[in-house]
A and B are shown apart, each in its own frame.
Chain A
Amino acid sequence: MSSTKYILGLFDDPDVMMHGIDKLQKNSVPIYDVYTPMPIHGIEAKLGIKDSRLGYAAFMFGCLGGTTILSMVYYFLGYDWPMNIGGKIHFALPDYIPVTFEWSVLFASFGMAFTFFYSTHLFPGRAPRVMDLRATNDRFVIAIDAKGSTPHEDITNILKEAGAVEIKHNDRKYVSYE
């Protein structure tokens, strides 16, 4: 066995790359991942990736935010120290709608964003696990785990046929720094 760990097919056009994915899948070559400089629509379906559930998270966080602030306000102004403010009733609900809305939005967006960071393992200082440095620039990269049963030359050929501009046999999983 060679020391190749991953085979990368580098495309310069997203449409061609999508075509390449089809080809690989037809040949039952398992695709490890695809790295692109921009989102490619329709690729999830092709790779069988389930819909994101971040929306539900956002909704739940939003509900939490609204409830939190409204209970806080009730505690502050209705329970802990009710006061006569301009002759208004202690729990003047219409007045509290703006803050309730704001905190719903705040919790929803922060909750969701941080869930996203958490689930995608993004955080400041995380070592970037990059297989090819041009994947964030102008190359659309299909990564194939070299450990699979298909001979490496076949994969290379399929990629070549599919129109890959360059094919790399990487000995390391990540070319980036630690």
Chain B
Amino acid sequence: MDSNKKYWKGLEELNKTPEFVEKNKHEFAEPIPIEDVLSGDGLLGKTPRRDFLKAVGFGVGAVTLAACQKVPVHKSIPYLIKPEEVTPGVANYYSSTYEGHAILVKTREGRPIKVEGNPNDLLAKGGLSAQAQSSVLDLYDVSRVQAPLVNGEGKAWNEVDDYVKLELAKIQDSGKKIAIISSSISSPSTLAVIADFITAHPTAKHIMYDAVSYTGIIQANQNSFGKAVLPHYNFDKADVIVSFGADFLSTWISGEEFTRQYVSNRNNKSLQSKKMSRHIQFETGMSLTGTNADVRIPLKPSEEGVALINLYNAITGTTLPGTKKLADNAANNAITIAAKELAAAKGKALVVAGSNDVATQTLVNAINAALGSYGTTIDLDNNSNQYKGNDADLAAFIGDAKKGDIAAVLFLDANPVYDYYNTKEITEALAKVPLKISFNTSLDETAALATVVAPNHHYLESWGDDSAIAGYYTVMQPTINPVYNTRQAEESLLIWSSSATKTYYDYVRNNWDKNILAMGGLSGQKGWETLLQTGFVHVAAKTAGAYSFSKDLNAVAQTILTQSTSLVAGDKAYELHLYQSSAIRDGKHANNPWLQELPDPVSKVTWDNFAAMSLTDLKALNLQEGDVITIDANGTSIALPVLLQPGQAEGTISVAVGYGRAKGGAVIESGIGKNAYPLYSFRNGTVQGSAVAKISATGDQIILAQTQTHHSYEGRNVIRDASFTEYKKNPYVNSGKDGEHKDYKSLWENYDRPTYNWVMAIDLNACTGCGACVVACNAENNVPVVGRDEVRRRREMHWIRIDRYYTFNDEQGKGVTEEHEIDKLKNINNVSVVHQPMLCQHCDHAPCETVCPVLATVHSSEGLNHMAYNRCVGTRYCANNCPFKVRRFNWFNYWNDSRFENYLAEQHTQLVLNPDVVTRFRGVMEKCSMCIQRIQAGKLQAKMEKRPVKDGDIKVACQQTCSANAIVFGNGNDPESEVSKALRSERTYYVLEELNVQPGIGYQVKVRNTNELEA
């Protein structure tokens, strides 16, 4: 029934006042300033409606604007038309490539927030290094060069092009040389662009060099087999691995790949089939690889060559001229045993050396050839493209430049002013080059000297490709518009060589269409799109050929011995050994606060480099840890604090390069460590990192920012380890599972876990301690960076940490862990190391929960220990009561405090934050949540697909990035899940289980293949 009733809105309507009539003519009570908004003026208007639009669009708009050119970033406008692929709140993944690894880039609302490994990546199968994890932060680095510069002045790109083209034309006329200096480039398209540039400018030459060089291996392969390449090593095929100073699990060539390979012979699966590889490491300083070795022998740099000669002799039964025994009996013994074991494992053996000396590497080639490694553990036919640099080329360039022959130099991803060993020479040489062009992304030491800075894109803004291993091609695609006014270096080169192809995207497309796509069985637009989704093309590998070594070794041995003798330090001198630290590597990423705060896996030092020395030497010099000493070698000297490093060869000092950067970002410029590159020297055609050094104490003292200062586990039920022999006899050995376990009773019935029981298993035998998980966790969970001073106060915020414990072996080979007994040991260089990832154990009887006064931390029905930041008042009682000390307190407001601005609180760096995880305010406690946002996302996805969560659907950040697959996470209620299987392992134990806190994380006993040495 229709109603005839009429309702008035007010007396005005009843009376039909003139104002009411006027107002009511329009749809809205007040006119909407559409015209104003659209004409641009409206952006400044102050209507509430616009505020609403602003709010709606803010999340997406902020980033878009940040990535837009010339628009001030403090304004925000909403998407007028929503980009099809962006759904607020839903992440998009793009496949790309980082240093040859196929990766996935997670973007939210148009901004990349995390890098994840592509599970199908040939190299690491989804594992990623700490560097790759942290690379996303570099994208938002405010210290990047934000626009091109000519002579230090900001210019438009066309002005730069005009200027450069004019200059290049002049050089062309004069016939002088042009040099393109880059670090190793493995991208086929980049190499093609450079080739095109050289065609356009025939006097140009491309010089590749690496800050830490592999010229020695490349040259040795040239000398031995006529192939100037870096071979592809297969550690998974090696039963016996002997390494001479090669840190192959971390910094040497391809750490993640080698980790995956190496661990496959030592993880749970391998152990259960009663197989475990054997790894003997001879090295000077304690490297990450050394910590994982079954047997580790400290060796001075001067002894390395001698030891290799002895090994060669023992394997082949010959005696090279000049052979002498090593001074240390244990080392001699180890060489004999290593030779025996290697010979027994012929075809399944591998010897690697970290040296950059051609002669040494030639000898290694001879040993490997004698062991039949070529074709099995070493693949020369599917070679690695990761390093190609030639030290001699750069030296030649310097010579030319000093003569004034070079008229222009282009730096692409190269910073020789910082990392060339002879700073003086390179500076002098560059002073004579009139046109210096830098493509570097930051105003680093080299770019600061450049006439033209044409800043390159970050790789997440770029098109491109890569080929780390011959036959394996990965593609790079941009995931965001350029954040700053930068241009891809390749595009600049195309423009400057007046190429017909105007954009680098087209160039890459053409190159792939022509050369690569077909190899993967793809073609055309469809093929290209498939590629962008899969991320790579892998051509079936060529059969690796067996190579035999037929060169004369007498001269080689002579060179090695001469060099060894020259390295023997005299009285009061020490043998210096330079290495790359696991986090900072060659120093290119030194401006990355995540990496700076990543503790060194061995020393646990952050934010500094140091001089590692042995206890004997420290005692002899009457030095304490933290005393600053001057190290004098090769005519330069640097001052560094000393660090007592167990396992350091006596009479040696190890110093990490990559620190002491002078320019290139706010973090760097706050002063981090000292530059050790000048301590390198050029010998026998390559740059080498060993020298004789004199040291003297300065009297100063520095407190190193270490995250761990007690280094043994005091025999506690924290670490459990066993030898492989014991394990073979009894797989339960030392895990306590064979009846030694007490049945800890509960006073109450346990709570139900109706659907899920999230648990974790960590295999101590797989974990190499690299720390990639720490950075992955930082990126995933917005963990703040606190800086050196705060780490010194022991306040790092990492939710997951890697505890590293030394066991000191006494003369009888018995492990000693108790502090007071260690103090009695004379020699603390024979150490075994274990790495233990430690994170919130999500105890079922969580001691932290009981004591929280405000119920800010309680248990979920899925077995997780929750933390409600909003409820926390910050009494810190939970942290005190946590036996694992995994809770982290926000001592300061890390996100809004000028003291922490350089780390993550910069205007753009905050764009890297994961919007699924809140940043924590000061005064609240935080800790590992088992990536609860990922668990929720996984459950939601399953719910939408109307199915239960499958095993493997949800991967936590630390697990995902682990190349060694040491961390397994999943539903403990599902007996078939990977984690349930792992926890059923005989080796499983729980840390401090006698406290009956019932941790949710089970660890697997560390097994060492040590037995055979004693035999």
Residues of A at under 8 Å CB distance from B? 83-89
Contact = CB atoms under 8 A, between A and B. Distances in A.
A87 B998 contact: yes
A86 B860 CA distance: 10
B847 A86 contact: yes
B662 interface: no
Interface of B: 746, 748-751, 844-850, 855, 858-861, 998
A87 B855 contact: no
A89 B859 CA distance: 12
B864 to A, nearest CB: 10
Given A84-B861, A85-B855, A87-B746, 12 more contacts: A83-B855, A83-B858, A83-B859, A84-B849, A84-B859, A84-B860, A85-B850, A86-B848, A86-B859, A87-B844, A87-B998, A88-B850
Nearest to B881: A86
Among all A-B residue pairs, the 10 with the closest Cβ atoms: A86-B850, A84-B859, A86-B849, A87-B845, A89-B748, A85-B849, A83-B858, A86-B846, A84-B751, A87-B844
A89 to B, nearest CB: 5
Contacts of A86: 845-850, 859
A89 B850 CA distance: 11
Contacts of B845: 86-87
A160 B836 CA distance: 95
Nearest to A81: B855
A90 to B, nearest CB: 10
B954 to A, nearest CB: 22
B866 to A, nearest CB: 10
Label chain A's interface by main secondary structure. Answer: loop
A89 B844 CA distance: 12
Nearest to A92: B748
Contacts of B748: 87-89
A87 B858 contact: no
A49 B421 CA distance: 104
13 contacts: A83-B855, A83-B858, A84-B849, A84-B861, A85-B859, A86-B845, A86-B847, A87-B746, A87-B748, A87-B846, A88-B850, A89-B748, A89-B749
Residue of A84, A86, A88, A89 with most partner-chain B CB within 10 A: A86
Contacts of B861: 84
Nearest to B846: A86
Nearest to A85: B849
A28 B848 CA distance: 74
A121 B180 CA distance: 100
B680 to A, nearest CB: 56
A86 B858 CA distance: 7
Contacts of B860: 84
A107 to B, nearest CB: 22
Contacts of A89: 748-749
A85 B998 contact: no
Nearest to A89: B748
A89 B748 CA distance: 7
Contacts of B750: 87
B827 to A, nearest CB: 46
A84 B850 contact: no
Contacts of B844: 87
A87 B864 CA distance: 11
Contacts of B846: 86-87
A50 B846 CA distance: 58
A176 B846 CA distance: 66
Contacts of B849: 84-86
A84 B998 contact: no
B366 to A, nearest CB: 63
B863 to A, nearest CB: 10
A58 to B, nearest CB: 30
A89 B848 CA distance: 16
A85 B844 CA distance: 9
A2 to B, nearest CB: 70
Residue of A84, A85, A87, A89 with most partner-chain B CB within 10 A: A87
A83 B854 CA distance: 12
Nearest to B861: A84
